[in-house]
């Protein structure tokens, strides 16, 4: 991991809480130790983007929202809540899937907060 960190930092990425961000890159990079899971939910299906340098394996949109909501659910991380809403505002996301996941995790009330805040943002 230290070699990866050195390369990314050399390319202008900044590390924050195990995530790498670059002001010119719309994505956050995180290196996850397998098996990949969000809460109690193991992840089996991924998106893939083919580039000239190879294929990048990514979380599906719904799983990205779940990941960001998990930080809100567990640590009241408002930035995670905002990031989850930003994804939903930019792309079509299956909110019912996310609601079922939140209920299974025991956070239906916080999901409802997210959903209400999202509806407000969609109207503005």
Domains in the chain: boundaries: 32-123
In tens, the pLDDT along 72-122 reads 999 999 999 999 999 999 999 999 999 999 999 999 999 999 999 999 999
CA–CA separation, 50 vs 52, rounded Å?
Answer: 7
Q: What is the mean pLDDT of residues 17-39?
A: 87
CA–CA separation, 108 vs 87, rounded Å?
Answer: 19
Contact in structure between 121 and 85 (CB atoms under 8 Å): yes
In tens, the pLDDT along 32-77 reads 888 899 999 999 999 999 999 899 889 999 999 999 999 999 999 9
Q: What is the pTM of this model?
A: 0.79
Q: What is the pLDDT of residue 43?
A: 95
Q: 84-87 contacts: CB < 8 A, separation 24 or more? A: 84/114, 85/114, 85/117, 85/118, 85/121, 87/61
Contact in structure between 9 and 15 (CB atoms under 8 Å): yes
């Amino acid at each position: 991991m230290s070699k990866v960190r050195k390369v990314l930092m050399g390319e202008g990425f900044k590390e924050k809480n195990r995530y790498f961000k670059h002001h010119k890159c719309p994505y956050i990079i995180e290196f996850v130790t397998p098996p990949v899971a969000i809460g109690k939910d193991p992840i089996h299906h991924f998106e893939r983007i083919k580039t000239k340098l190879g294929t990048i394996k990514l979380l599906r949109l719904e799983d990205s929202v779940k990941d960001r909501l998990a930080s809100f659910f567990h640590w009241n991380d408002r930035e995670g809540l905002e990031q989850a809403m930003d994804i939903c505002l930019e792309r079509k996301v299956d909110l019912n899937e996310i609601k079922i996941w939140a209920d299974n995790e025991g956070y239906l009330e916080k999901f409802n907060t997210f959903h209400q805040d999202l509806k407000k943002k969609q109207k503005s």
